[in-house]
């Protein structure tokens, strides 16, 4: 009888452990100068920084584009918080356009999920070029209907 209790306890423990396991979505890391919208890949593209407007931008004709707006040109590497509007030096606004589906997504002040976490992009400064990278961030569609998981790796 004691062996039966121990065996039953072991089975219940295994069942509880297997049920409480959490599974996360895979993280998609795009190749250099590419970006992802959900699982659709865009690029590669040539990116330029416009000093007059403080915008890093690039795109593929007829496919899509990505824009990164800064308050001022980044001077050093760091983590920049995604915002609807970059009002501070350490903030960035991301706009992603899918020309095929005619949809645009923009960064929000938080991930839009119940946790309401801020999202940070890695900004890299290399001589005269600016790069940004982030993985699996939630951006909202500009019409406020849908959200998309966006990743980018721009050098």
DSSP 4: H
C-alpha–C-alpha distance, residues 141 and 106, integer Å: 6
Within a domain: 38: yes
Would you say residue 10 lies in a domain? Answer: no
Is residue 136 situated within a structural domain? yes
Is residue 43 within 8 Å of 55, Cβ to Cβ? no
Say if 109 falls within a structural domain: yes
In 3D space, the residue among 118, 114, 63 whose CA is nearest the CA of residue 88 turns out to be 118
Q: What is the pLDDT of residue 148?
A: 84
- Output the pTM of the full model: 0.77
Question: In this structure, is residue 5 part of a structural domain?
Answer: no
Instruction: Note whether 91 and 123 are within 8 A (CB).
Output: no
Tally the domains of the chain. Answer: 1
C-beta separation of 61 from 52 below 8 A: no
Segments forming the whole domain that contains residue 75: 25-154
Q: Give pLDDT tens digits for 91-149.
A: 999 999 999 999 999 998 876 766 678 899 999 998 878 999 999 888 888 876 678 88
Is residue 3 in some structural domain?
Answer: no
Residue 43 lies in a domain: yes
């Amino acid at each position: 009888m004691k062996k039966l209790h121990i065996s039953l306890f072991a089975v219940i423990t295994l069942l509880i452990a297997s049920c409480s396991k959490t599974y996360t979505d895979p993280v998609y890391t795009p190749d250099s100068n590419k970006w992802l919208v959900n699982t659709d890949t865009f690029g590669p593209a040539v990116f330029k920084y416009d000093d007059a407007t403080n915008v890093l931008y690039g795109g593929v004709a007829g496919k899509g584009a990505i824009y990164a707006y800064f308050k001022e040109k980044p001077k050093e590497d760091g983590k920049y918080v995604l915002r609807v509007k970059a009002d501070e030096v350490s903030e960035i606004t991301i706009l992603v356009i899918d020309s095929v589906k005619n949809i645009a997504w923009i960064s929000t002040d938080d991930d839009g999920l119940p946790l309401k976490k801020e999202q940070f992009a890695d900004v890299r400064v290399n001589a005269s070029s600016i790069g940004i990278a982030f993985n699996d961030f939630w951006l909202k569609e500009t019409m406020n209907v849908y959200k998309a998981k966006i990743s980018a790796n721009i050098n």
